[in-house]
Structure 1
Amino acid sequence: MEEVEVVVAHSERATLRVGDVFLKVDADRTRTDVEVAAMALAPVPTPAVLWRRPPVLALAALPGAALGRLGEPSPASPAAWAAAGAAVRRLHDAPLPPWPGRSREEWAARLDAECGWLLAHDVLPAGLVTRNRRIAEAALRPWAPVFVHGDLQLSHVFVDGDAVTGVIDWSEAARGDALYDLALLTLGHPEHLGDVLAGYGADADREVIRAWWSLRSLVTVRWLAEHGFDPAAPGCEIDVLRSRV
């Protein structure tokens, strides 16, 4: 009998693996609707949808392995990171999805709220929050929207050797800032930013990417802590904030 592996589980959603099938259970049907629609539109490899019976979505496993994990050295080659950058470029060059994404004003409001919470609850030193917030504000400039994955963590990109075999977890896909995707892909792995940009093949403002590293880390600390994850683990979000100053 095949075992059931719990890939991730928290109060909003859970992902289980049974053999070569992933079962995603999501309390918010809208997120699953977006995931299925985005995978159908994206010009990059994605998992095959085997069946869907809300709140469960069944997806086929991808060949290969994840590009890496936050807080751990990546086992992937520089060429694999460059291939990931090329895949992101194909996505960003694709037609926009028909649904909107988070606006610059919404990001600014979220940054304000989360920094206020971090300071009010004495979660992080005030100087660390203040300095990273100053860095993060560089990301809040006008941008031309592109088709973004929206949650492009390196663990969501699968490679086999130097080739990308697929990208998973599309529930945050929308119209957004191209540099946000590039920042999230390289969060905690700044040594691979050059590899990703070599594959991406377009001018990209590295300072804005670094600003997104600060912004993303600031706004996710509370969510991670409240859902059973540890943002203070070595190499993770709080270490990213420390490295920025």
Structure 2
Amino acid sequence: MEFAQGWDSRAVLVAGRWVERRPRRPEVAEQLRRETRVMPWLAPLLPLPVPVPHLSSETPLVVRHDLVPGRPIESPGAEYGRALGEFLRALHDSPAAEAIRHGLPPATRTRADRAAAGDRFRADVMPLLPARHRDSAAAVLAVLADSPADTVVHGDLGPEHVLVDGGRVSGVIDFGDVHLGDAAIDLAWPLYGTPPEFAAAIAAAYRVTDELRGRALLWHRLGPWYEVTHGMDIGDPEVVRAGVIGVLDRLAEPS
């Protein structure tokens, strides 16, 4: 059985218990190999199950991990929020120096990736926005240059990656974007894309500061920019259009 298509890798369920992933593009191979080095070290530090992939085949490249049970969260409540807040606190408290020793690229790589993303957003996305929104859009892009890169982060946390089962959070999946970055990126969806009771429980369990909350809002507003460029990369004008709508909608949201 093949799972819903991801941007970077193709995942299939094998024998009802293992997930096998293959890169969709050559440049994703490095990402999959990195997970096989980082996740065995990181998983024991976390209070919820996460995938721990190992190399199953080098040619073609295939990584395999035990299936993390559960279904994507649909109705986030306070209990789920507390569990996820505690998970993110543990993730962000994991030692960055040790993560680098286990294969996570250093902060210089994060800053270079951010600079490249910012250049592309200015070149490809900004021209698609009405002129009256470009000043506020430029302020959002500033987060790429100005935010810290000192914390081990999931990097792509959303409802499709938080699993629930039997009334509890059963795991967090898809660490393909794990990197040394800004803790606020992992708080963007929990604080600004969920019901108030869930967001409040996250904030309390994690002990969110006003500074973190402010940066999380900027990362929340930045999310659809990646959707626009992804749509361009796969040649899908509907994905591009939906991304532009998301950019404008989030720029219009109150702070």
- Asked if Structure 1 and Structure 2 have the same fold, meaning a TM-score greater than 0.5 normalized by the shorter chain, the answer is yes
Q: Give the structure 2 partner of residue 173 of structure 1.
A: 178
- Is 1:63 aligned to 2:60, yes or no? no
**Would the alpha carbon gap of residues 31 and 142 (structure 1) be closer, same or farther in structure 2, given more than 3 Å must change?**
closer
Contact 1:21–1:59, Cα closer than 8 Å, also in 2: yes
Query: Which runs of 5 or more residues in structure 2 are unaligned?
Result: none
Return the offset for 1:61: 1.6
Relative to the length of structure 1, the TM-score reads: 0.78
For the 8 Å contact 1:50–1:60, the answer to whether it is kept is no
Task: Find the residue that maps to 1:7 and give its secondary structure.
Answer: coil
Post-superposition offset of 1:203: 2.1
Structure 1 residues 87 and 6: alpha-carbon distance in aligned structure 2, compared to 1, 3 A threshold: closer
1:71 corresponds in structure 2 to none
Corresponding residue number in structure 1 for 2:239? 230
State how far apart, in whole Å, the 2-side matches of 1:135 and 1:14 are: 32
Is contact 2:191-2:203 (8 Å) kept? Answer: no
Q: Residues 21-45 of structure 1, C-alpha deviation per residue, up to 9 Å, x if partnerless? A: 3221114321111112221122222
- Is the 2:32–2:176 Cα contact (8 Å) retained in structure 1? yes
Q: Which amino acid is the alignment partner of residue 176 of structure 2?
A: S
Cα deviation 1:87-117 (Å, max 9, x = unaligned): 0110110111113244446424422321321
Query: What is residue 70 of structure 1 aligned with on the other side?
Result: none
- Given the superposition, is the C-alpha separation of residues 145 and 160 from structure 1 closer, same or farther in structure 2, using an over 3 Å criterion? same
Whether contact under 8 Å (1:152, 1:181) holds in the other structure is: yes
Amino acid at match of 1:53: S
What CA distance in whole angstroms lies between the structure 1 residues aligned with 2:195 and 2:76? 14
**Aligned partners of 1:150 and 1:181 also within 8 Å:** yes
Matched, 1:153 2:158: yes
Specify which of 2, 6, 14 is matched with residue 5 of structure 1: 2
More contact order relative to length (CA 8 Å, sep ≥ 6) = 1
> Does residue 203 of structure 1 match 2:209?
yes
Quick one: which amino acid aligns to residue 138 of structure 2? Answer: R
Quote the Cα distance in structure 1 between the aligned partners of 2:186 and 2:6.
Answer: 24
- Which stretch of structure 1 is more off in the superposition, 81-90 or 19-28? 19-28
More helix by share: 2
Contact in 2 for aligned 1:150/1:180 (Cα 8 Å): yes
Instruction: State the 1:237 CA deviation.
Output: 7.1
Partner of 1:20: 17
Tell me the SS of whatever aligns to 1:132.
Answer: helix
Select which of 42, 46, 51 maps to 1:47: 51
The answer (yes or no) to whether the contact 2:161–2:174 under 8 Å persists in 1 is yes
Instruction: Report deviation, 1:185.
Output: 4.7
**Cα distance change, pair 78–238 in 1 and its aligned pair in 2 (3 A):** farther
**Residues 160 and 8 (structure 1), Cα distance of their counterparts in 2 relative to 1, 3 Å cut:** same
Residue 242 and residue 64 in structure 1: after superposition, are their counterparts in 2 closer, same or farther (change >3 A)?
A: same
Aligned AA (2:33) = D
